[in-house]
Structure 1
Amino acid sequence: MSALPPAIAPAFQYASDCYITQSIQMGMEGLHELGLSWPVAFVSAAVLLRVGTAPLHVYAEKLFAERLHAQNFLTRGILKKVSERYRVELGPSKDGSKLEVKTTDPKIAKVTQDALQEVPSMLAEHGLQAARIQNLKMCTVPIWIFSSFALRNVINSDFHPSVAGALWIPDMLAPDPYFVLPVAVGVFGFLNLYSQRKIYPGVIKTTMKQKSYDAVLAFFTMFAVTIMAQLPACIPLYWLMVSTTGMAQAQLLRHPKIKGIFGIKALPTDSTTPIRDLFKMRNV
């Protein structure tokens, strides 16, 4: 910690010593004591943490589906009332992506817009805020951060465990000599983003804001890959497992049978072949 800037050293110290980190570290050490090698123990810890945090993602997906259904129901109801009151036609937009009132009257258009602006508050009354859904997913991020510190504590501990490697990596405490694991982490990072674009309706948009976001994400992903290339190979191995299980979880929650088990309402993006769909150029 002494090499860290004074401004962030306390935060790193807390992350290394807090109860969550210590608990995860004890879990990793416990898996090793069961007879698992250190690499297998690290990978198993990633899988167990993914399973442990899965209920939050399942609940978020359930709320997301309910929000989308409720939003469509409320929007359709409002547009239908406006159509009946002002006796104007109700039909799909030119691109067929939404329902709209067919009118050029600015008064009717304003009434319609004002009425539709009440939809978010109606959704919020039933706990279907977009921020709540996003926060349910984001609240698992600290777990992964603390788990990284737990892994760091294990490999930097006083007894210096021997972490034998395999294949092209003889020692997991040394950096990956061919950068396979760090690059794989970056690839799965981009693949996870792409898979999310395929899951959520209306996300795939080539706006300048979206392009800027993608550029920033690409920069930080490449930066992370560069850093991981210099770290012990067991760290990118751990994060590779975190990324792959995360993508697997997201794709499983698109399958109708899996959604049925958890009581998640159907969406247009559901698929019985979610993995294969990732390689199809299909807008949602």
Structure 2
Amino acid sequence: MSVLRQIGGFFDSITEDMATGLEVHCRRNPLTGGRWRSVYTPDVLAVGEGPSSWTDFFSQQLRWSRGTFETLLCQFGRVVWSLSPGRLWNYLLLVAFYPVAGLTWVLGGVSCVLFLGCGAAGVSVPSEVWLMLYGDAAALQVALYVVNRRHNVSPHEPVGSSGVAGMVMSAVSAPLYARALGQALLRRRSGFVVTPKGDSASPDCVGTFRTHLGWAGVFGLCLVASVVWGHAYPAMRVWAVLALVTAVGPVGIWGAGLVRRRWVAGGLVGDGVPFFGQRRPG
């Protein structure tokens, strides 16, 4: 608790855990002169629930990414020179994910508008050169991921888990990271929201996916424009299709879940036997 008293308590942030940790790791123990250290323990003291609806999951991801952007804009520059090289590298890797994901999504959208919608032309690079430049980099990334998965310390993931599910959920959250980036740059006000869990889960509706549907409209219109106006850029069309699938994927999953629940509620009787073309007993 002495370190919390030294920094004035938990840091005022919507992602107070990371912001407080950053403040702690740039300070020194006044008694020993050494830097404060964090120690990982694998003991499970409490098991937390994750969000069980798209509304709550999106709210959580929006808060986490927005908090990271605020840390970068308002806190990181002030304490960066107080961190040791190892800790600086650790925090740079930690805070880089949301900006990279958000910027990649925005730049991908801008590129689709320019190439597919407006017909802009870029430098033509042969596919062999692209493979030479990026093939080995992609292979190295996959190899590093596979190796690093052996050091996964999460007690809640099954042994040998590939982590693909987590990557998919991060990918479908990219439109939210872009939205959080824009809000942070425009200095929009943000507030701390406790993510509802279990029976307190927020219901989903079409408005839950407004950010995703907006981006789906952008990529869908770009694809239509490329066909109508003959802007044939295969690579950009592939990117637009992948982005479109990413944007509408959560909406499709939610819609399929609604249909399934309604079918089960309307097609099953008390003993669990489905009715096919029969009237349910009154």
TM-score over 0.5 for the alignment? no
RCO (CA 8 Å, sep 6+): is it higher in 1 or 2? 2
Which protein has the bigger strand share? 1
| TM bin (shorter chain) | under 0.3
Q: TM-score, normalising length from structure 1?
A: 0.24
